[in-house]
Amino acid sequence: MKFIELASYLERLEKTSSRLEITGILAELFKKSEASEIDKIVYLSLGILAPNYESVILNLAERMMINVLAQAYDEDPQKIKSLFKNSGDLGNVAQELAKGGGSGISVSEVYDALISVAKDSGAGSAERKVSGMAKLLERLDPTSVRFVARIPVGRLRLGFSEKTVMDALRLASLDQGNDLAEKEIEDAYNIRPDIGYIARLVKTGNIKKAAPELGVPVVPMLAQRLNSTSEMIKKMGEVSVEPKFDGLRIFIHFRKPDFIRIFTRNMNSIDAGTFPELDSIGKYIKAKEIILDTEAVGIDEKREMFLDFQKTITRRRKHDVAKSASEIPLQFQVFDMLLIDGRNLINEPYVKRRELLEKAVVNGGLFRVDENTITKDPEIIKNLHQKYLKMGLEGVVVKRANGFYVSGRTGWNWVKMKEEEGKTGKLADTIDCVVMGYTRGRGKRAGFGVGQFLAGIRDGDIIKTITKVGTGLTDEQFKELNLRLKKLSTLKKPKEYEVHKDLTPDFWVTPDLIVELAADEITKSPKHSAGLALRFPRLIRFRDDKNISGVTTKKEVNEFFRMQKTQ
């Protein structure tokens, strides 16, 4: 496919906010795509070059892109800076300056040129990146330039995510005679969260071949929330009851003698050097290769107690690793295993995975296999919950004994239980929201730059408002919030936001900052687009360990609301 044709589809996508239309346009695009290029087309339509866990980024900030445009179109950088200041969109500036041509360049050529720029490193790479990007833009027509120039600065956002791409892939496959179920594509993506790879499998009819692979993250299994132990047994039958730790969710991929990759719950790759404790991992693994699901928990060795999340998360810092490791040693609580010696365990019952796990991991020291109790008795769950709370843990996680490893919060496979009332508020649990925008501060807060922020939850690909937060923040939190939000500000409301006109903030921000909020209760709301609102919301912490996929969904909030009414 020629890139000029892809650009025409991107232009159509940019002009519509209808979810059905977006899905239809993408399906049409995917039907026209060849199997050899569909992965590249999917990546570029999402404004990326590869899955996030591969960390393939262009590293061209706005300042460097101004130099790219100056070089590509032989213009004064000051003129481009002025045009950008007026427009607020480097893509529009590039289109205004473009001189035409570009009808012959293919999607694959554009993608390969961008990959080459992204992978350039070492001495003089900044200059080579600018030059390489400029040469690519010179070859493109004005419409294509508008979209390509937005990719390096993360501004391509066309209002859809991988979920819509999966819907479009299914629609395209149906039109071509392949009766693929929505769940088949989603399940394959959860096992191999590379949407380009999944698109290629769909296009070639190989969707059933998706399987865990060492070095590639799996979408993590997450816990639902229930406070009734009798309801847990009713929904899950026989369960495994285990302690809930307040640490970092860490997936460890290891192959002897020394291959190791580490992923967060967001499927972001972490340099193994961040956790020097894992240098000795080989002594604790009785297998050639393995994928472990763990919780890294900070230990206070003097007081023989676990540290809280805020202290543990400092271990993710890239600097002063040795000092950090000595001050906050880690213990890895191992609770699941997804692969061992080439054997896929995704569809094995939990009790079977546990059995294999206990044989594969040396329990004690660096790794501790979570203790567990198999039961059908609600009273035993309650007693264990109280026991673990008294130990300073977060209570219990209850797991269906015969459940498979099901990514996300689908079904009743894992459930976490928390106190109905606690330090954070009267809701049964906190809610993870994305910051959508903010308003200026007044009075004392004028110096902070932020008076309150608008927060939302996920409903498919749409972000819907649920609250405004302007109280309960310390001065330090206001200052930190201002610094973070300034970097994410955007002139236009992101396409995926659904906001009542009366709630429009002074500044919009891209959906990148996740915050954990507590509240007294959930109430119905005629103005918040979620249809519900948080009463007396309070900021608990910034969740840098989560991205947009980890934001609480409207379905989950509806369940909280239902639980609240039955208490």
CATH value at residue 463: 2.40.50.140
What's the whole-number average pLDDT of the chain?
A: 90
Inside any domain, residue 18: no
Confidence of residue 299 (pLDDT cuts 50, 70, 90): confident
Which pLDDT belongs to residue 396? Answer: 95
Which pLDDT belongs to residue 448? Answer: 76
Cα–Cα dist 324/170, whole Å: 47
Inside any domain, residue 109: no
Residues 253 and 384 in one domain: yes
Residues 365 and 464 in one domain: no
Confidence of residue 311 (pLDDT cuts 50, 70, 90): confident
> Quick check: 96 pLDDT over 90?
yes
Residue pair 252/292 in contact (Cβ under 8 Å)? The answer is yes
Which pLDDT belongs to residue 301? Answer: 67
Residues 229 and 350 in one domain: yes
Which one of 364, 388, 417 terminates a domain? 417
Least confident range of 299-303, 527-531, 547-551: 299-303
Residue pair 104/92 in contact (Cβ under 8 Å)? The answer is no
Task: Provide mean pLDDT across the span 430-452.
Answer: 84
Which one of 383, 417, 451 terminates a domain? 417
Residues 247 and 357 in one domain: yes
SS3 496: coil
Residue 290, H or E segment? strand 289-300
Type of residue found at 172: A
Which pLDDT belongs to residue 420? Answer: 44
Active-site residue, from 129, 244, 418, 554:
244
Residue pair 30/203 in contact (Cβ under 8 Å)? The answer is yes
What percent of the chain has pLDDT above 90?
66
SS3 253: strand
List the CATH number of the domain containing 305. 3.30.470.30
Residues 244 and 360 in one domain: yes
What percent of the chain has pLDDT above 70?
93
Contacts of 364 (CB under 8 A, 6+ apart): none
pLDDT (tens digit per residue) in 498-507: 999 999 999 9
Residues 559 and 477 in one domain: yes
Confidence of residue 426 (pLDDT cuts 50, 70, 90): low
Q: What is the total residue count of the chain?
A: 567
Which pLDDT belongs to residue 424? Answer: 45
Confidence of residue 261 (pLDDT cuts 50, 70, 90): very high
Name the H helices within 176-277: 182-191, 195-204, 229-236
Cα–Cα dist 145/101, whole Å: 11
Domain total of the chain: 2
Residues 324 and 238 in one domain: yes
End-to-end CA separation in angstroms for the chain: 58
Confidence of residue 34 (pLDDT cuts 50, 70, 90): very high
Cα–Cα dist 520/426, whole Å: 5
Inside any domain, residue 97: no
Per-residue tokens: 251: 């997936």
pLDDT (tens digit per residue) in 37-94: 999 999 999 999 999 889 898 989 899 999 999 999 999 999 999 999 888 899 999 9
Closest CA to 533 of 451, 421, 456, 453: 456
Inside any domain, residue 94: no
Residues 464 and 393 in one domain: no
- Rounded to the nearest angstrom, the gap between the alpha carbon of residue 6 and the centroid of all alpha carbons in its chain is 27
Is 527 marked active-site? no
Residues 456 and 494 in one domain: yes
Inside any domain, residue 464: yes
Inside any domain, residue 162: no
Phi, psi angles (nearest 5°) of residue 334: -95, 125
Give the domain extent around 399.
224-417
Residues 264 and 352 in one domain: yes
> Quick check: 422 pLDDT over 60?
no
Which pLDDT belongs to residue 338? Answer: 97
Which pLDDT belongs to residue 549? Answer: 83
> Quick check: 415 pLDDT over 50?
yes
Which one of 353, 388, 417 terminates a domain? 417
Phi, psi angles (nearest 5°) of residue 330: -110, 150
Phi-psi region of 76 (alpha: psi -120 to 50; beta: other; left: phi over 0): beta
SS3 280: helix
Residues 413 and 442 in one domain: no
Residues 296 and 331 in one domain: yes
Inside any domain, residue 391: yes
Inside any domain, residue 513: yes
pLDDT (tens digit per residue) in 320-357: 666 667 778 889 999 999 999 999 999 999 999 999 99
Query: CA–CA distance from 323 to each of 28, 57, 275, 314 (Å)?
Result: 54, 30, 12, 11
